[in-house]
């Protein structure tokens, strides 16, 4: 962590992002029509995803993930609690990540403010955007994610792969790829609503900071879901 913290210390500013849309003449009408069609498409997607709730109760659910990891090269310990709320085609996800090794300590807060979920069963594709905030230097990066998840073995084995990228205007802070599997135990009526599911999990995470600090973690934890 020492090298990563040094890089953060040299970047004193907080990155800011802005965007603008301009147009003239008929382009204004085209923009409004595009917004209308996009909104209608999102409405149809949301309606379709919610209609699958009987077969896929996870589309309206609350999920909690308690994960830890270990990287032997630097004796690094990763703690990564996370919570996700799902409502049809939309999700929001918040996680706190802390890494402690023999060179230092790094803590960050990651919030995927909105994620869009597109079912192509048996796979659910998701993409989201939000931010990653680094406490030690009070610096914030824009972050986007792209992932996929699926279920096997009578829908009790979950597999999920997620790519995350946290970037500034001229700085790439972190790239991450994580794959996890968990298995629901203790409740045979896995499609009933109004109950909790407890799932031990295993996984692997690769993280790269500033394009040169590579971390490889073996993960273990416990996932809790409420339908």
Q: How confident is the model at residue 171 (pLDDT cuts 50, 70, 90)?
A: confident
Whichever domain contains 116, its CATH number is 2.40.160
Q: How confident is the model at residue 214 (pLDDT cuts 50, 70, 90)?
A: very high
Cα–Cα dist 215/98, whole Å: 13
Domain that holds residue 58: 2-226
Cα–Cα dist 46/90, whole Å: 8
**pLDDT at residue 24 tops 70:** no
Higher pLDDT, 118 or 28: 118
Q: What is the pLDDT of residue 21?
A: 43
Cα–Cα dist 120/150, whole Å: 10
Cα–Cα dist 195/112, whole Å: 26
- The verdict on pTM exceeding 0.75 is yes
Q: How confident is the model at residue 196 (pLDDT cuts 50, 70, 90)?
A: confident
- The domain total for the chain is 1
Q: Do the Cβ atoms of 143 and 129 come closer than 8 Å?
A: yes
**Closest C-alpha among 89, 179, 178, 104 to residue 134:** 104
Q: What is the pLDDT of residue 20?
A: 44
């Amino acid at each position: 962590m020492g090298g990563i913290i040094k890089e953060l210390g040299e970047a004193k500013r907080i990155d800011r992002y802005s965007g603008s849309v301009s147009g003239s003449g008929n382009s204004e009408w085209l923009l409004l029509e595009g917004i209308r069609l996009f909104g209608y498409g999102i409405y149809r997607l949301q309606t379709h995803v919610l209609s699958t709730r009987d077969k896929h109760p996870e589309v309206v659910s609350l999920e909690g993930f308690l994960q830890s990891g270990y990287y032997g090269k630097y004796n690094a310990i990763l703690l990564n609690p996370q919570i996700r709320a799902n409502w049809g085609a939309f999700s929001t996800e918040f996680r706190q990540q802390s890494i402690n090794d023999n060179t230092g300590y790094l803590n960050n807060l990651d919030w995927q403010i909105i994620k869009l979920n597109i079912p192509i069963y048996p796979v659910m594709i998701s993409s989201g955007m939000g931010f990653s905030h680094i406490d030690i230097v009070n610096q914030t990066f824009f972050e986007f994610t792209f992932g996929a998840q699926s279920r096997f073995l009578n829908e009790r084995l979950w597999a999920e792969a997620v790519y995350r990228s946290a970037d500034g205007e001229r700085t790439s802070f972190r790239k991450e790829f994580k794959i996890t599997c968990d298995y629901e135990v203790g409740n045979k009526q896995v499609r009933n609503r109004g109950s909790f599911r407890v799932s031990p999990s295993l996984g692997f995470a690769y993280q790269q900071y500033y394009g040169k600090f590579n971390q490889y973690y073996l993960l273990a934890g416990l996932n809790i879901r409420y339908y």
